[in-house]
C-alpha cells in the first residue's frame, strides 16, 4: 500500500484512540452532561405541553424538573422503606442463613474432606486480612455518596440550561451545516430528535408497565416485598440481556434466603417468562417501536464498552446513546453504513410474532389517526 492509501486507516484509528482517551479522562465532565442531555429530551414533551397550557417558559422547565426529581425521590424513598422492612426481619433471615451456612459446611466436610474447624480457621484468616480495609471502605462509600449528590445537582443544572437554550443549540447545529444544506440539516435534526424522544418516553413507559406486571406476578407467586423486587427488576431492564437476569436472580436468591419453597421459585420463573414474552411481543412493538433496535452483537459490545469506560453509569447510557447514534446515522448519508452495521436487519417476521406485532401496530396507527 502507498503512503496515501495508508493515511485514511491511520487517521480513523487515531480518531478512535482520541475519542476513547477523551471519554476516559473527561468522565467527570461528560457523565452528568450526557445524563442531562438524555433526560432533557425526555422532559421536552412535558415542557412543550405545559407551554401550550400558557405556563411561562422558565416555569414550565422548573415544573418538569420538579416532576423528575419527585419521581426519583419517590422511587428512592420507597426502595429505602422496603430495605428497612427487610432489615427489621433480619433476625429470622439470619437464622435461615445460619442454617444454610451450616448445611454448606457439612456438605463440604462430607464431599471435599475439609473439616468444619479448618473452614473456620480459613474464614478467620480472611476476616483478619480484610479488617484493615474497613476504614477505607467506609471512606469510599462517603466519597461515592458525595460525588453522586454533586453529579445529581450538576445534572439538574444542565437539564435546565439545555431546555432553556434549546433554540440556540439547535441554531448552532444548523449553522454548522455546509452552505445550502441548512434545510436538510434542520429536517434531519427534527426527525432524530422526534424519534429519540419517542424512544426515551417509550422506554420510561415500558419500565412502568414492567413494574405493574412484575408486581402482579410476584404477588401471585407469593414473593415477600413483591413491589420492591418488581421495581428492581423494572429498573434493571435498562440494561438489556443482563439486567432482567440479574433482577430475577436477585429475587430468587432473596426468596430462597427467606425460606421460599420450590413452588415459589417456579412462580418467579414463570412470572419472568410471561413478562419477557409480553415485553418482546407487545410492549416493545406498541410502546418503544423498532426505530432504534440494535443488533445483539453491538448491544453486548456497547454494554461491555460502557462498563469499561464509565462503569455502571456507562452500561445504563450505552444502549440509549447507541440508539440515538443509529438514528442520526440513518439521516446522514455518509454515516448510513454505520447505522446498517449496528442496527437489526429488517427481516419479515413470521408466524405468531408477525401477527401480534401487526395487530398492535395497526391499533397504534388507528389511535394516532383518531387524535
Q: Could you write out the three-class secondary structure of 37-57?
A: HHHHHHHHHHHHHHHHCCCCH
Asked if residue 154 and residue 41 are part of one domain, the reply reads: yes
Do 35 and 176 lie in a common domain? yes
Give yes or no: residues 180 and 204 share one domain. no
Q: Are 222 and 75 members of one domain?
A: no
Shared domain check, 175 and 215:
no
Residues in the chain: 371
Within this chain, do residues 271 and 205 fall inside the same structural domain, yes or no?
Answer: yes
> Does the residue 359 lie in any domain?
no
**CA dihedral sign of residues 248, 250, 255, 259:** positive
Instruction: Identify whether the C-beta of residue 294 lies closer than 8 Å to the C-beta of residue 368.
Output: no
CA–CA dist 315, 328 (Å, integer): 21
Contact 309, 24 (CB under 8 A): yes
Co-location of 170 and 211 in the same domain: no
227 and 79 share one domain: no
Query: Does a structural domain hold residue 129?
Result: no
For residue 94, pLDDT over 70 is answered with no
- 172 and 203 together in one domain: no
Q: How far apart are CA 216 and CA 213, in angstroms?
A: 5
**Torsion region of 334: left, alpha or beta (phi above 0 gives left; psi -120 to 50 gives alpha):** alpha
- 216 vs 271: CA distance, rounded Å: 9
134, pLDDT greater than 50: no
- Cell numbers describing residue 211: 413494574
Least confident of 125-129, 166-170, 271-275, 277-281: 125-129
Whether 101 maps to a domain, the answer reads: no
Task: List pLDDT tens digits, range 235-279.
Answer: 887 776 677 788 888 888 877 776 667 788 888 889 888 988 888
Q: 241 near 299, Cβ under 8 Å?
A: yes
Q: What is the pLDDT of residues 11-41, one digit of tens each?
A: 878 888 898 899 889 888 999 999 998 888 8
User: Cβ of 210: how many Cβ atoms within 10 Å?
Assistant: 24
Query: Which domain, by its residues, includes 261?
Result: 199-290
Residues 164 and 38 in one domain: yes
Q: Is 163 in the same domain as 45? A: yes
Question: pTM for the full model?
Answer: 0.73
Beta bridge partners of 90: none
Residue 327 domain-assigned (yes or no): no
Structural domain includes residue 262: yes
Q: Which grid cell is 228? A: 420492591
Average pLDDT, the chain: 77
Total domains present in the chain: 2
232 and 210, same structural domain?
yes
User: Cβ(155)–Cβ(32) under 8 Å?
Assistant: yes
Amino acid at each position: 500500500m502507498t503512503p496515501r492509501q495508508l493515511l485514511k486507516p491511520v487517521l480513523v484509528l487515531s480518531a478512535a484512540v482520541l475519542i476513547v482517551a477523551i471519554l476516559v479522562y473527561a468522565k467527570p465532565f461528560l457523565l452528568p452532561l450526557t445524563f442531562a442531555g438524555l433526560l432533557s429530551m425526555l422532559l421536552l414533551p412535558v415542557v412543550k405541553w405545559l407551554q401550550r397550557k400558557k405556563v411561562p417558559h422558565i416555569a414550565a422547565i422548573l415544573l418538569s424538573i420538579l416532576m423528575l426529581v419527585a419521581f426519583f425521590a419517590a422511587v428512592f424513598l420507597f426502595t429505602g422503606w422496603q430495605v428497612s422492612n427487610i432489615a427489621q426481619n433480619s433476625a429470622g433471615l439470619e437464622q435461615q442463613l445460619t442454617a444454610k451456612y451450616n448445611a454448606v459446611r457439612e456438605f463440604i466436610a462430607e464431599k471435599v474432606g475439609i473439616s468444619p474447624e479448618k473452614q473456620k480457621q480459613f474464614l478467620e484468616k480472611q476476616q483478619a486480612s480484610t479488617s484493615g480495609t474497613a476504614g477505607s471502605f467506609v471512606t469510599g462509600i462517603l466519597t461515592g455518596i458525595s460525588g453522586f449528590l454533586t453529579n445529581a445537582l450538576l445534572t439538574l443544572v444542565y437539564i435546565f440550561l439545555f431546555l432553556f437554550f434549546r433554540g440556540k443549540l439547535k441554531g448552532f447545529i444548523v449553522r454548522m451545516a455546509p452552505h445550502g444544506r441548512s434545510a436538510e440539516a434542520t429536517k434531519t435534526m427534527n426527525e432524530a430528535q422526534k424519534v429519540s424522544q419517542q424512544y426515551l418516553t417509550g422506554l420510561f413507559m415500558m419500565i412502568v408497565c414492567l413494574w405493574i406486571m412484575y408486581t402482579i406476578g410476584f404477588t401471585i407467586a407469593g414473593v415477600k416485598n413483591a413491589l420492591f423486587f418488581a421495581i428492581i427488576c423494572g429498573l434493571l431492564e435498562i440494561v438489556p440481556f443482563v439486567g432482567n437476569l440479574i433482577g430475577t436472580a436477585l429475587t430468587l436468591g432473596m426468596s430462597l434466603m427467606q425460606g421460599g419453597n420450590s413452588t415459589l421459585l417456579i412462580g418467579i420463573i414463570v412470572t419472568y417468562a410471561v413478562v419477557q414474552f409480553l415485553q418482546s411481543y407487545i410492549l416493545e412493538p406498541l410502546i418503544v417501536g423498532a426505530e432504534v433496535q440494535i443488533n445483539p452483537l453491538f448491544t453486548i459490545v456497547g454494554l461491555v464498552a460502557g462498563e469499561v469506560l464509565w462503569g455502571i453509569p456507562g452500561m445504563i447510557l450505552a444502549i440509549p446513546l447507541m440508539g440515538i447514534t443509529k438514528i442520526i446515522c440513518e439521516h446522514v448519508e455518509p454515516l448510513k453504513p454505520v447505522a446498517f452495521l449496528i442496527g437489526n436487519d429488517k427481516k419479515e417476521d413470521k408466524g405468531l410474532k408477525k401477527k401480534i406485532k401487526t395487530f398492535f401496530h395497526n391499533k397504534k396507527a388507528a389511535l394516532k389517526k383518531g387524535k
